[in-house]
A and B are shown apart, each in its own frame.
Chain A
Amino acid sequence: DQQVKQNSPSLSVQEGRISILNCDYTNSMFDYFLWYKKYPAEGPTFLISISSIKDKNEDGRFTVFLNKSAKHLSLHIVPSQPGDSAVYFCAASARNYGQNFVFGPGTRLSVLP
């Protein structure tokens, strides 16, 4: 049973436009959410996180929105750049589960020049 879902395996966006990556979760115990970017043959790179006490967190071109009632979060990248092309993973954790992140299956973002 997948506790963290990313229903879009891939997404293509034109350079300069907004990229919106979505993530849904089922476990209501999750209270901390993160987004990671991954290039082939490299480890995931942390992008941005959000605690369940917030509904938005912004860092430069990256904004994460959290809708607790819908158990949904999204990552907005504005403006999208070709270097953003990578696989994006959503991850979630709960205080009671320690540093155990549950990852989604990932969404491959392609930013077209």
Chain B
Amino acid sequence: KAGVTQTPRYLIKTRGQQVTLSCSPISGHRSVSWYQQTPGQGLQFLFEYFSETQRNKGNFPGRFSGRQFSNSRSEMNVSTLELGDSALYLCASFSTGTMNTEAFFGQGTRLTVV
């Protein structure tokens, strides 16, 4: 069974640009969450999608958005990039849409904003 796939693995963007990151969950998983990892802030929750609906959202500005498609694949978008957006962005998928189940993470997309 293939794991969580995130593309691209690495990305370099300029301040002010926008970026779209992609995540394909494990086959059969309908719930996808996104996290941002930075050295100073650790792993922070961005948002969670289940059956194409955003079910939960973390404390991030509106420049960060996401969506989920009918095949459960998810994208996140960051507009008007700032230097502080440089981070490892991790996607996690869940085996069910119910609570209390472990998340399986992808390898992440390393975004560098210059």
Which of B42, B48, B99 lies in contact with A105, CB distance below 8 A? B42
Q: Chain A: how many interface residues by the 8 Å CB criterion?
A: 26
Contact code string A42-65 (vs B, CB < 8 Å = 1, else 0):
111110010100000000000000
Q: Is the CB of B43 within 8 A of A100?
A: no
Q: Which residues of B approach A to under 8 Å, CB–CB?
A: 4, 6, 31, 33, 35, 42-45, 48, 50, 55-56, 58, 90, 92, 94, 99-108, 110
Cα-based distance from A102 to B101 in the complex (angstroms) = 14
What residues on A are CB-neighbors of B56 within 8 Å? 97-100
Cα-based distance from A14 to B13 in the complex (angstroms) = 43
Q: List 19 A-B contacts (CB under 8 A).
A: A41-B110, A43-B90, A44-B43, A44-B90, A49-B102, A51-B100, A89-B42, A93-B99, A93-B100, A97-B56, A98-B48, A98-B55, A98-B56, A99-B48, A99-B56, A100-B48, A101-B45, A101-B103, A106-B42
Q: Is the CB of B103 within 8 A of A46?
A: yes
| Minimum Cβ distance to chain B for residue A52 (Å) | 9
Q: Is the CB of B55 within 8 A of A99?
A: yes
Given contacts A99-B33, A100-B33, A100-B45, contact A43 B108 (CB under 8 A): yes
Q: Is the CB of A99 within 8 A of B107?
A: no
Check if A31 is an interface residue, CB within 8 A of chain B.
yes
